[in-house]
Amino acid sequence: MPEEVETLPDEVEVLTLPVEVETPPVDVEVETLPVDVETPPVDVETPPVEVDTPPVEVDTPPVEVETPDEVLEVVLRPPVVVEVTTMLPLLPPPPLLPPKKPPKKPPPKPPPKPPPITVTPPPLPPPSKPPRGKGA
């Protein structure tokens, strides 16, 4: 009697179970040394800047100022005459010199001029107000 032989199929399924691996944490100490960095000074040359400013023209209207007559009154004062006498010590005349002529009198001084008259105009009204005296 022949023995019965079991035959396996050609394809075999292999089941693999998942493997759990535990990795313990690793403490790593890293020592960082201080780094000295030398920064050389930097010279920056700034060229001069030329700016052209155009001339500004300003139109200034003429200002009319009314001056009362009492301000324009001129007061003339007579010139002041001052006589000055100087006493000089008497010296003996130098020998062998001819007699001196008397000195000429200096020309009379002109009388002093009266001081100039200055008129200060009243302050102008602020520009925000309309000019007075004109009918609307």
- pLDDT tens by residue, 36-66: 888 888 888 888 888 888 888 888 888 887 8
Question: CA torsion, points 68, 71, 74, 79, in degrees to nearest 10?
Answer: 180
Q: Vertex 48, ends 43 and 52: CA angle to 5°?
A: 160
Q: Can you give the pLDDT at residue 35?
A: 86
Rounded to whole angstroms, the Cα distance separating 83 from 74 reads 28
Q: Can you give the pLDDT at residue 133?
A: 62
Q: Can you give the pLDDT at residue 72?
A: 65
What does DSSP assign to residue 22?
-
Contacts 24+ apart (CB under 8 A), 20-29: none
The whole-number average pLDDT for the span 125-134 is: 63
Q: Can you give the pLDDT at residue 124?
A: 72
Task: Give the tens place of pLDDT for each residue, 63-90.
Answer: 887 877 776 667 778 888 888 777 777 7
Helices of type H across 6-117 = 69-72
Decide if 74 contacts 117 (C-beta within 8 A).
yes
More confident residue, 123 or 134: 123
What's the whole-number average pLDDT of the chain? Answer: 77
